[in-house]
Amino acid sequence: MAVHYLSGAIASAPEEPEPYTVLSELWSDKRSELAEVVQAADSLRTVLARSYVNFLEGDMAGAVLALGSVTGARPDVSWAKAPWFSDAEFLGVVSADALAEAAMRTMERGHDLDTDIMRERFQPWIHAIDTVSVREPLPEAMARMAILLRACGLTDASFALCDRADSVERVMLTEVVRAGTWRRLGDPEKTAAAFERALGLDPANWSLYLDLADLRAEQGDFATAVQLTAQGLEHEAAEPTLRAAGAAYRARLTGSPAALRELIDLVPQLANDSYRALLVKHACAGPSLPEELLAEARSVQNS
């Protein structure tokens, strides 16, 4: 069908207006057939076509979310240079929440965006963030958008957007984003200060205690790490990641065989392999732990 050819043309040169014009005419003439094809999208280029069809239909959330998914899969292409993405009709309507979710999708595959060429490709996203956050200043959405700015290496702009979010209302997520940016910049004390402010805004959030505990463990302050995990467990006693961290940090601080045994038993419940390995490494550095228990912990770590 013609949509496949047009999708290929758009994928080859997202900034060229002609394929969009033809796709718009096709949408006018054969709307139901085109909608059926793009809604059953099973390839990158068809998802790309769907983003424009969503735009034509006035579904700006669907348009930006589809483009965010395409960008996350292939950030090496300037997808956001599509003419509709910088159109006032789009920027004047798309919601801050939809743009924030789309921004998160651009990062979900973990590609490195902190290069000059990536910043150039993401310039339309940056412009959209500036425009939409002024029109609809929602603090949590702005905080999520600030994560993309940070990923692109624009840490000053990320902090500035967080400050603007605070001027509307202080929320926990903004401080968490600030903490991540300070961590990226290599400042552990400012990272900790931001996490502590986040806890002040959401004192029952167990994951914030874990974030702070992990940070203190990185600094070698295992006594504080143990205290923080214990505080977190007061709010979520059954959380396996928090329990595992607490056990690891107790084993490291005190050389407790019981703590190391608890960690070994919890390891299978930890989904993140690198974090699991880090906790086991910390625990096995505890004083005077039995060799057979250390061997078991290391075998579990590598399984």
Q: For residue 287, give the 3-state DSSP assignment.
A: coil
SS (H, E, C) 236-278: CCCCHHHHHHHHHHHHHHHCCHHHHHHHHHHHHHCCCHHHHHH
Across the range 34-44, mean pLDDT stands at: 67
What tens digit of pLDDT does each residue of 246-260 get?
999 999 999 999 999
pLDDT at 179 over 70: yes
Across the range 50-72, mean pLDDT stands at: 94
What tens digit of pLDDT does each residue of 96-132 get?
999 999 999 999 999 999 999 999 999 999 999 999 9
Q: Which one, of 123, 180, 124, lies nearest residue 150 by Cα? A: 180
Distance of alpha carbon 39 from the chain centroid: 26
- CB of 2 within 8 A of CB of 69? no
12, with CB counted inside 10 A (0-12, 13-18, 19+), is exposed
Provide the Cα torsion 214, 219, 224, 225; round to 10°: 20
Average pLDDT value for the chain: 94
- CB of 122 within 8 A of CB of 99? no
Distance of alpha carbon 57 from the chain centroid: 29
CA distances 147 to 133, 142, 175, Å, are 14, 9, 12
For position 9, what pLDDT does the model report? Answer: 87
At residue 183's C-alpha, the angle toward residues 181 and 184, to 5°, is 65
Q: Give me the percent of the chain exceeding a pLDDT of 70.
A: 96
Q: What is the pTM of this model?
A: 0.92
pLDDT at 228 over 70: yes
Distance of alpha carbon 155 from the chain centroid: 15
pLDDT at 222 over 60: yes
> Percentage helix, strand, coil, to 5, in the chain?
75, 0, 25
CA distances 63 to 2, 49, 144, 280, Å, are 20, 9, 18, 44
For position 40, what pLDDT does the model report? Answer: 59
What tens digit of pLDDT does each residue of 3-36 get?
777 888 888 899 999 989 988 988 888 777 676 6
Q: Which one, of 56, 19, 14, lies nearest residue 35 by Cα? A: 56
pLDDT at 1 over 60: no
